[in-house]
Structure 1
Amino acid sequence: MSEAARKIPEHLWGASEELEVLTFDIAGEMFALEAVMVQEILDLLPETSVPGAKPFVGSVINFRGKVIPLADIRLAFGMEATKPTIDSRIIVIELDVDGEPTLTGIRTDKVHEVTSLLKAASEPPPSIGMRWRSDFIDCLVRRGGEFIILPNLQTIFSVGHERHAADPSKN
Protein backbone atom coordinates (compact mmCIF):
# COMPACT_ATOMS: atom_id res chain seq x y z
CA MET A 1 0.00 0.00 0.00
CA SER A 2 1.46 3.40 -0.93
CA GLU A 3 2.26 6.05 1.70
CA ALA A 4 -0.40 8.30 0.17
CA ALA A 5 -3.08 5.61 0.51
CA ARG A 6 -2.33 4.96 4.18
CA LYS A 7 -4.14 7.34 6.50
CA ILE A 8 -4.68 7.99 10.16
CA PRO A 9 -8.01 6.40 11.15
CA GLU A 10 -10.62 9.17 11.39
CA HIS A 11 -12.48 7.32 14.16
CA LEU A 12 -9.63 8.27 16.48
CA TRP A 13 -9.59 12.00 15.94
CA GLY A 14 -12.93 12.90 14.38
CA ALA A 15 -13.04 16.69 14.07
CA SER A 16 -10.71 17.21 17.02
CA GLU A 17 -7.03 18.13 16.83
CA GLU A 18 -6.30 16.47 20.19
CA LEU A 19 -6.99 13.04 21.62
CA GLU A 20 -7.12 12.38 25.36
CA VAL A 21 -5.34 9.10 26.12
CA LEU A 22 -4.03 6.94 28.95
CA THR A 23 -0.36 6.04 28.39
CA PHE A 24 1.19 2.79 29.56
CA ASP A 25 4.20 0.53 28.97
CA ILE A 26 4.40 -2.97 27.62
CA ALA A 27 7.87 -4.49 27.18
CA GLY A 28 9.56 -1.10 27.18
CA GLU A 29 7.27 0.37 24.49
CA MET A 30 4.91 3.27 25.19
CA PHE A 31 1.29 2.61 24.22
CA ALA A 32 -1.86 4.69 24.62
CA LEU A 33 -5.60 4.03 24.68
CA GLU A 34 -8.38 6.56 24.30
CA ALA A 35 -9.19 7.69 27.83
CA VAL A 36 -12.92 7.40 27.14
CA MET A 37 -12.52 3.60 26.79
CA VAL A 38 -10.92 3.20 30.21
CA GLN A 39 -13.25 2.12 33.00
CA GLU A 40 -10.68 1.63 35.75
CA ILE A 41 -7.02 0.98 36.51
CA LEU A 42 -6.47 -1.91 38.91
CA ASP A 43 -3.61 -3.36 40.86
CA LEU A 44 -3.04 -6.95 39.85
CA LEU A 45 -5.83 -9.30 40.90
CA PRO A 46 -5.96 -13.06 41.26
CA GLU A 47 -6.41 -14.63 37.84
CA THR A 48 -8.23 -17.80 36.98
CA SER A 49 -6.85 -19.69 34.00
CA VAL A 50 -9.44 -20.88 31.52
CA PRO A 51 -8.70 -24.42 30.31
CA GLY A 52 -8.51 -24.57 26.53
CA ALA A 53 -8.45 -20.78 26.14
CA LYS A 54 -6.03 -19.18 23.75
CA PRO A 55 -2.95 -17.70 25.49
CA PHE A 56 -3.80 -14.17 24.32
CA VAL A 57 -6.85 -14.18 26.59
CA GLY A 58 -6.04 -17.17 28.76
CA SER A 59 -7.53 -16.07 32.06
CA VAL A 60 -10.35 -14.16 33.71
CA ILE A 61 -10.57 -11.82 36.69
CA ASN A 62 -13.35 -10.73 39.01
CA PHE A 63 -14.15 -7.06 38.32
CA ARG A 64 -16.86 -5.66 40.61
CA GLY A 65 -18.60 -9.03 40.78
CA LYS A 66 -18.36 -9.66 37.02
CA VAL A 67 -16.07 -12.20 35.43
CA ILE A 68 -14.16 -10.49 32.62
CA PRO A 69 -11.43 -11.75 30.26
CA LEU A 70 -7.85 -10.64 30.90
CA ALA A 71 -5.80 -10.05 27.74
CA ASP A 72 -2.07 -9.92 27.36
CA ILE A 73 -1.69 -7.91 24.13
CA ARG A 74 2.07 -8.43 24.23
CA LEU A 75 1.30 -11.94 22.93
CA ALA A 76 -0.64 -10.48 19.98
CA PHE A 77 2.41 -8.36 19.19
CA GLY A 78 4.66 -11.42 19.34
CA MET A 79 6.43 -10.33 22.54
CA GLU A 80 7.42 -12.74 25.29
CA ALA A 81 5.14 -13.11 28.30
CA THR A 82 6.77 -11.71 31.41
CA LYS A 83 6.28 -11.96 35.13
CA PRO A 84 4.38 -9.11 36.79
CA THR A 85 6.27 -6.48 38.76
CA ILE A 86 5.29 -4.05 41.49
CA ASP A 87 4.39 -1.54 38.73
CA SER A 88 2.18 -3.94 36.73
CA ARG A 89 -1.46 -2.91 36.39
CA ILE A 90 -4.66 -4.00 34.70
CA ILE A 91 -6.51 -1.46 32.58
CA VAL A 92 -10.22 -2.31 32.35
CA ILE A 93 -11.70 -1.08 29.08
CA GLU A 94 -15.03 -1.31 27.36
CA LEU A 95 -14.61 -2.66 23.85
CA ASP A 96 -17.24 -3.29 21.19
CA VAL A 97 -17.11 -7.01 20.39
CA ASP A 98 -19.59 -8.18 17.74
CA GLY A 99 -21.81 -5.18 18.45
CA GLU A 100 -21.84 -5.75 22.21
CA PRO A 101 -20.06 -3.51 24.72
CA THR A 102 -17.68 -5.88 26.52
CA LEU A 103 -15.52 -5.25 29.56
CA THR A 104 -11.99 -6.57 29.14
CA GLY A 105 -8.84 -6.27 31.22
CA ILE A 106 -5.47 -5.54 29.61
CA ARG A 107 -2.32 -6.45 31.54
CA THR A 108 0.37 -3.72 31.41
CA ASP A 109 3.87 -3.29 32.83
CA LYS A 110 3.23 0.25 34.05
CA VAL A 111 0.53 2.90 33.70
CA HIS A 112 1.76 6.47 33.27
CA GLU A 113 -0.76 9.28 32.83
CA VAL A 114 -3.76 10.71 31.09
CA THR A 115 -2.51 13.18 28.52
CA SER A 116 -3.44 14.75 25.19
CA LEU A 117 -1.85 13.79 21.90
CA LEU A 118 -1.90 16.05 18.85
CA LYS A 119 -3.36 14.86 15.55
CA ALA A 120 -0.66 16.86 13.74
CA ALA A 121 2.03 14.70 15.44
CA SER A 122 0.43 11.42 14.33
CA GLU A 123 1.28 9.26 11.37
CA PRO A 124 0.28 5.84 10.10
CA PRO A 125 2.59 2.96 10.96
CA PRO A 126 5.13 2.25 8.24
CA SER A 127 4.23 -0.69 6.02
CA ILE A 128 7.78 -2.08 6.22
CA GLY A 129 10.42 -2.11 8.89
CA MET A 130 7.99 -2.68 11.75
CA ARG A 131 8.44 -5.64 14.03
CA TRP A 132 4.65 -5.86 14.38
CA ARG A 133 1.75 -6.16 12.01
CA SER A 134 0.86 -2.65 10.84
CA ASP A 135 -2.88 -3.45 11.02
CA PHE A 136 -2.47 -3.91 14.79
CA ILE A 137 -1.52 -0.23 15.06
CA ASP A 138 -3.92 2.66 14.39
CA CYS A 139 -1.13 5.23 14.39
CA LEU A 140 2.11 6.40 15.94
CA VAL A 141 2.25 9.79 17.66
CA ARG A 142 5.51 11.62 18.12
CA ARG A 143 5.90 13.23 21.53
CA GLY A 144 9.27 14.67 22.34
CA GLY A 145 11.87 12.18 21.16
CA GLU A 146 9.64 9.12 21.37
CA PHE A 147 6.73 7.51 19.56
CA ILE A 148 3.56 6.49 21.34
CA ILE A 149 1.76 3.53 19.79
CA LEU A 150 -2.03 3.60 19.55
CA PRO A 151 -3.02 -0.06 19.09
CA ASN A 152 -5.97 -1.09 16.94
CA LEU A 153 -7.81 -3.10 19.58
CA GLN A 154 -10.63 -4.12 17.24
CA THR A 155 -8.18 -5.89 14.94
CA ILE A 156 -6.07 -7.29 17.77
CA PHE A 157 -9.06 -8.79 19.55
CA SER A 158 -10.59 -10.17 16.36
CA VAL A 159 -7.50 -11.80 14.82
CA GLY A 160 -4.49 -11.42 17.10
CA HIS A 161 -5.23 -14.29 19.42
CA GLU A 162 -6.29 -16.59 16.57
CA ARG A 163 -3.01 -16.03 14.72
CA HIS A 164 -0.92 -16.94 17.75
CA ALA A 165 -3.04 -19.93 18.65
CA ALA A 166 -2.43 -21.31 15.18
CA ASP A 167 1.36 -20.86 15.49
CA PRO A 168 2.63 -22.62 18.61
CA SER A 169 6.04 -20.93 18.25
CA LYS A 170 4.32 -17.62 19.05
CA ASN A 171 2.86 -18.86 22.34
Structure 2
Amino acid sequence: MGVASITESIQYLTFKLADEIFALDVAKVREILEVTTITKVPQTPDFMRGVINLRGSVVPVVDMRLKFGMSMTEQTVNTCIIVVEISLDGDSLVLGALADSVQEVVEMEAEKIEPAPHIGTKLNTDFIRGMGKVDDHFVMILDIDRIFSSAELADLT
Protein backbone atom coordinates (compact mmCIF):
# COMPACT_ATOMS: atom_id res chain seq x y z
CA MET A 1 0.00 0.00 0.00
CA GLY A 2 1.70 3.16 -1.16
CA VAL A 3 1.07 6.86 -0.73
CA ALA A 4 -1.58 6.78 -3.48
CA SER A 5 -3.75 4.63 -1.21
CA ILE A 6 -3.59 7.22 1.59
CA THR A 7 -6.54 9.42 0.65
CA GLU A 8 -7.59 11.09 3.87
CA SER A 9 -6.05 12.34 7.03
CA ILE A 10 -4.98 9.43 9.25
CA GLN A 11 -3.81 9.31 12.84
CA TYR A 12 -0.38 7.83 13.46
CA LEU A 13 1.40 6.80 16.62
CA THR A 14 4.95 8.16 16.48
CA PHE A 15 7.82 6.44 18.26
CA LYS A 16 11.60 6.66 18.40
CA LEU A 17 14.26 4.15 17.48
CA ALA A 18 17.68 5.68 18.20
CA ASP A 19 17.45 9.24 16.82
CA GLU A 20 14.86 8.44 14.13
CA ILE A 21 11.11 8.94 14.40
CA PHE A 22 8.77 6.33 12.93
CA ALA A 23 4.99 6.17 12.74
CA LEU A 24 2.32 3.46 12.64
CA ASP A 25 -1.34 3.76 11.73
CA VAL A 26 -3.15 3.88 15.10
CA ALA A 27 -5.71 1.40 13.74
CA LYS A 28 -2.95 -1.26 13.92
CA VAL A 29 -1.99 -0.43 17.52
CA ARG A 30 -3.76 -2.37 20.27
CA GLU A 31 -1.98 -0.92 23.29
CA ILE A 32 1.31 0.36 24.65
CA LEU A 33 2.96 -1.46 27.54
CA GLU A 34 5.83 -0.77 29.88
CA VAL A 35 8.61 -3.26 29.35
CA THR A 36 7.97 -6.38 31.36
CA THR A 37 9.84 -9.67 31.66
CA ILE A 38 10.61 -10.98 28.19
CA THR A 39 11.25 -14.73 28.05
CA LYS A 40 13.91 -15.62 25.49
CA VAL A 41 12.97 -18.32 23.00
CA PRO A 42 15.89 -20.45 21.72
CA GLN A 43 16.75 -20.62 18.01
CA THR A 44 14.81 -17.53 16.96
CA PRO A 45 16.13 -14.69 14.79
CA ASP A 46 18.26 -12.03 16.53
CA PHE A 47 15.51 -9.40 16.28
CA MET A 48 13.13 -11.73 18.16
CA ARG A 49 13.70 -10.80 21.80
CA GLY A 50 11.29 -13.41 23.20
CA VAL A 51 7.71 -13.61 24.39
CA ILE A 52 5.60 -11.90 27.03
CA ASN A 53 2.48 -12.96 28.87
CA LEU A 54 -0.29 -10.53 27.95
CA ARG A 55 -3.35 -11.39 30.06
CA GLY A 56 -2.80 -15.10 29.53
CA SER A 57 -1.79 -14.91 25.86
CA VAL A 58 1.74 -15.51 24.61
CA VAL A 59 2.83 -12.52 22.51
CA PRO A 60 6.13 -12.51 20.58
CA VAL A 61 8.25 -9.37 21.07
CA VAL A 62 10.56 -8.10 18.35
CA ASP A 63 13.29 -5.50 18.71
CA MET A 64 12.53 -2.98 15.97
CA ARG A 65 16.03 -1.53 16.19
CA LEU A 66 17.61 -4.93 15.44
CA LYS A 67 15.10 -5.56 12.64
CA PHE A 68 16.18 -2.29 11.01
CA GLY A 69 19.91 -3.02 11.39
CA MET A 70 20.50 -0.75 14.39
CA SER A 71 22.01 -1.68 17.76
CA MET A 72 19.93 -3.58 20.30
CA THR A 73 17.35 -1.56 22.26
CA GLU A 74 18.66 -0.70 25.70
CA GLN A 75 16.04 -0.68 28.42
CA THR A 76 15.38 2.78 29.88
CA VAL A 77 12.42 4.36 31.69
CA ASN A 78 10.99 5.29 28.28
CA THR A 79 11.41 1.89 26.59
CA CYS A 80 8.05 0.36 25.75
CA ILE A 81 6.32 -2.41 23.87
CA ILE A 82 3.85 -1.34 21.20
CA VAL A 83 1.34 -4.18 20.80
CA VAL A 84 0.22 -4.29 17.17
CA GLU A 85 -2.02 -6.48 15.08
CA ILE A 86 -0.44 -7.65 11.84
CA SER A 87 -2.28 -9.10 8.84
CA LEU A 88 -0.46 -12.08 7.38
CA ASP A 89 -1.89 -14.16 4.55
CA GLY A 90 -5.43 -13.40 5.68
CA ASP A 91 -4.69 -14.22 9.32
CA SER A 92 -4.18 -11.81 12.19
CA LEU A 93 -1.12 -11.96 14.45
CA VAL A 94 -0.57 -9.98 17.65
CA LEU A 95 3.03 -8.85 18.06
CA GLY A 96 4.93 -6.66 20.50
CA ALA A 97 7.31 -4.14 18.96
CA LEU A 98 10.07 -2.90 21.27
CA ALA A 99 10.69 0.85 20.86
CA ASP A 100 12.94 3.36 22.62
CA SER A 101 9.97 5.61 23.39
CA VAL A 102 6.50 6.53 22.21
CA GLN A 103 6.17 10.16 21.17
CA GLU A 104 2.58 11.16 20.38
CA VAL A 105 -0.41 10.55 18.15
CA VAL A 106 -0.35 12.89 15.16
CA GLU A 107 -2.76 13.43 12.32
CA MET A 108 -1.28 13.69 8.84
CA GLU A 109 -3.12 14.60 5.69
CA ALA A 110 -2.46 12.64 2.52
CA GLU A 111 -1.05 15.63 0.65
CA LYS A 112 1.59 16.14 3.36
CA ILE A 113 2.99 12.62 2.90
CA GLU A 114 5.73 12.01 0.34
CA PRO A 115 6.35 8.61 -1.29
CA ALA A 116 8.96 6.31 0.23
CA PRO A 117 12.45 6.97 -1.12
CA HIS A 118 13.84 4.55 -3.70
CA ILE A 119 17.33 3.63 -2.58
CA GLY A 120 18.77 1.40 -5.26
CA THR A 121 17.29 -1.90 -6.36
CA LYS A 122 18.71 -4.18 -3.67
CA LEU A 123 17.19 -2.31 -0.74
CA ASN A 124 13.59 -3.23 0.03
CA THR A 125 11.60 -0.18 1.13
CA ASP A 126 8.14 -1.71 0.57
CA PHE A 127 7.51 -1.52 4.32
CA ILE A 128 7.71 2.31 4.24
CA ARG A 129 4.31 3.77 3.31
CA GLY A 130 5.71 7.25 3.01
CA MET A 131 7.58 10.12 4.62
CA GLY A 132 5.64 12.63 6.67
CA LYS A 133 6.77 15.79 8.40
CA VAL A 134 6.02 16.64 12.02
CA ASP A 135 7.51 19.77 13.62
CA ASP A 136 10.29 20.06 11.00
CA HIS A 137 11.29 16.40 11.45
CA PHE A 138 10.86 13.66 8.89
CA VAL A 139 8.77 10.74 10.10
CA MET A 140 8.96 7.35 8.37
CA ILE A 141 5.45 5.96 8.12
CA LEU A 142 5.68 2.18 8.36
CA ASP A 143 3.38 -0.44 6.89
CA ILE A 144 3.57 -2.89 9.82
CA ASP A 145 2.08 -5.67 7.66
CA ARG A 146 5.12 -5.55 5.35
CA ILE A 147 8.02 -5.23 7.80
CA PHE A 148 8.24 -8.97 8.43
CA SER A 149 8.16 -11.67 5.79
CA SER A 150 5.77 -14.61 6.03
CA ALA A 151 8.76 -16.88 6.72
CA GLU A 152 9.97 -14.70 9.60
CA LEU A 153 6.53 -14.56 11.18
CA ALA A 154 5.94 -18.28 10.66
CA ASP A 155 8.89 -18.83 13.01
CA LEU A 156 7.15 -16.73 15.66
CA THR A 157 3.74 -18.40 15.63
Bin for the TM-score computed over the shorter chain: 0.7 to 0.9
Q: What 5-or-longer segments of structure 2 have no aligned partner? A: none
Aligned length: 150
Report matched runs for 1:16-165 at 5 Å: 16=8, 18-128=9-119, 133-158=124-149
The alpha carbon displacement at 1:23 in A equals: 0.9
Distance apart, 1:22 and its partner CA: 0.8
Q: Secondary structure at the match of 1:114?
A: strand
> Is the 2:59–2:94 contact (alpha carbons within 8 Å) kept by the matching residues of 1?
yes
Shift of 1:136: 2.9
What's the offset of the Cα at 1:133?
3.9
CA RMSD in angstroms, aligned pairs only: 2.0
Residues 1:117 and 1:136: Cα distance change in structure 2 (over 3 Å):
same
Which of the two has greater helix per residue?
A: 1
Helix, strand or coil for the counterpart of 1:55? coil
Q: Deviations over 1:134-167 (max 9, x none)?
A: 22311110223111111232222117959xxxxx
> Quick check: 1:45–1:61 contact (8 Å CA) kept in 2?
yes
**Structure 2 length-normalised TM:** 0.86
* Shift in Å, 1:32: 0.8
Please tell me the residue identity of whatever aligns with 2:118.
S
User: Within 2, Cα distance between the matches of 1:160 and 1:44?
Assistant: 26
2:26 is matched by which residue type in structure 1? A
Structure 2 counterpart of 1:3: none
1:40-76, CA deviations, whole angstroms, 9 ceiling, x for partnerless residues? 1100010011100111224111111100110112222
Query: Which letter maps to 2:135?
Result: G
